[in-house]
Amino acid sequence: MEEKILKEENQGYQGSLENFLEKEKSEFANFSEKIEELSIQEISKFTELPDYVEASADFFPIVIKSGESCFCIDGWEKVENAKNAQQTQIFCRVFYVHKISDVELAIRKIAIRMVPLAGRALYSEIVRNIKILINFIMQSKENIKVYSHGGDRKSDSFTNNREENIRLILMERFAKKRSTINQYISHGSYLTLEALEKLVEGKADKEFFEKVNNAKLQIIKELKSKNFSADEITQMVSKKIIEFFNNRENLEDLLKKRASNDDGKSEKSEPVKKEKFLEEPTLEYWKGNDASSIVKLCEEEIREKAAAICQRMGARFQDFSTNFSLIKEAVIGDVKELLSLINCMSKEESVCLN
């Protein structure tokens, strides 16, 4: 009897009750996606949630369509511009669904700016890919400003410090704070690509990287004090991190043992704290010998940028929750950046950036 009623309610539907119920569960899911030219008159603006302050980065208005219902959930400004230009049709990114509701449209309007259309990457994949990308950029001799899209005018801060410019590019293109980019870099530092691949295969998450980070920094510090090369440190640190990951069921015990110097000492040690990543992880960047790749700044710009760096250094020293050795490393990077700013002033003439 139940099957008969359902079939009557869904006239024209062909298939078993099981398939019909499965379809009912996914009524709000996309069954098709197209870049399609639509009549502007048929597109309605979804007004239950306010529009975003920043215009949509998508080339097309994003539209949800079901039957004759057609709602724009993002990029309405593009529809308005087309109207003002006396256009009657506009190409849209159209998601087709079986059913539309205000709740579903609201969820989609929020999600469109929070969840990537292609899905989310594993944290370990992000760390690995950032490391590979930085390698590409550092091996390149071109002016990396070409990779800036000018978001938030971060490209205005470019100097001839390639390391700083790399950070600015990553901040802009991935829409992340400086601290987040530094975190990605730090988590991938002194790890081989082979080790990172194993962490990706095991789906290592952000929590794992954060838990082992203090132990990792301590191992690096110890190996540096024994004058091991960077390659040797990378191999040994990678081996230890993979050991931690393979024994993650007992990770807390391993970290506690590590904190007490791995020798069973009974003295009390400080608990592992989450790293704040105030430090600027070091990048080995190509300094260049091509005059065309050097950015020249006028005196006013030098003063402005140098003042910003000094202000940043002051903030570092006032952060008493961060290990002093990390502050020291970060300030050394700041000093190098200051020197590069001073050196970019030509003795013959100064040229202001456009």
* Helix pair angle (162-173, 123-139), 10° resolution: 140
Residue closest to 39 by CA, chosen among 87, 99, 81:
87
Its pTM surpasses 0.75: no
**How far apart (Å, rounded) are the C-alpha atoms in residues 348 and 344?**
11
165-198: per-residue pLDDT in tens? 888 889 988 989 999 999 999 999 999 999 999 9
In CATH terms, 2-111 corresponds, of 3.90.1530, 3.30.70, 3.30.420, 3.40.30, to 3.90.1530
Q: Where are the domains of the chain?
A: 2-111, 123-279, 295-354
> Which residues are within 8 A (CB) of 98 and not within 5 positions of it... i.e. 6 or more apart?
23, 26, 27, 28, 29, 31, 66
Instruction: Give dist(CA 56, CA 185) in Å, integer.
Output: 29
**Range 50-63 average pLDDT:** 93
- What are the helix (H) ranges across the chain? 2-9, 17-25, 76-84, 102-111, 123-139, 162-173, 178-188, 193-201, 206-225, 230-246, 251-259, 299-318, 324-343
Residue 131 or 18, more confident: 131
Tokens of residue 321, six digits: 């929750």
Instruction: Characterize the bridge pairing of strands 89-97 and 62-66.
Output: parallel
Q: Grade residue 99 by pLDDT with cuts at 50, 70 and 90.
A: confident
Is residue 115 scored above 90 in pLDDT?
no
Adjacency order of strands within the sheet including 69-74: 30-39, 89-97, 62-66, 69-74, 44-45
Q: Does 42 score more than 90 pLDDT?
A: yes
Amino acid letter, residue 21 = L
> What tokens appear for 269 in the block?
């040690």
Residue 8 clears pLDDT 70, i.e. is over it: no
Mean pLDDT score of the chain: 78
